[in-house]
Amino acid sequence: MAALKIVPLNDKIVVKRLEADDKTVGGIILPDTAKEKPKQGEILAIGEGKPLDDGKRAPFQVKVGDRVLFSSYSGSEVTLDGKEFLIMTEDDILAVVD
């Protein structure tokens, strides 16, 4: 992948959704309109952290490359160069998948 052109600020995180499966467990192929958007993705970039009162920044618990789970309505969807990304805060992330 070419260099990411999105630089998140403060406590924001850029996530790329992982692809949804086109088939059900029973083998039925789903059209795009029937597929639920995946609720997991890969972290592509993180900001510098949430500013604290003492001038320092809170460290992130996640890192670039982590595979994460998030709720359906987390973050803001943005499209850049025909690719969709989510920009969210660390609070929107529910878990890291090992």
| pLDDT tens-place string over residues 56-82 | 999 999 999 999 999 988 999 999 989
- Distance CA(28)–CA(17), nearest Å, equals 22
Regarding pTM above 0.95, the answer is no
- Cβ contact 61:39 at 8 Å: no
Which top CATH class is 12-97?
Answer: mainly beta
Residue ranges with strand state E in the chain: 12-17, 40-46, 67-70, 76-80, 83-89, 93-97
Cβ neighbours, 10 Å, residue 97: 10
Q: What are the tens digits of pLDDT across the range 1-15?
A: 456 689 999 999 999
Average of per-residue pLDDT across 25-54: 80
Exposure string over 2-41, b if 16+ CB within 10 A, otherwise e: eeeeeebeebbbbbbbeeeeeeeeeeeeeeeeeeeeebeb
- Distance CA(82)–CA(42), nearest Å, equals 18
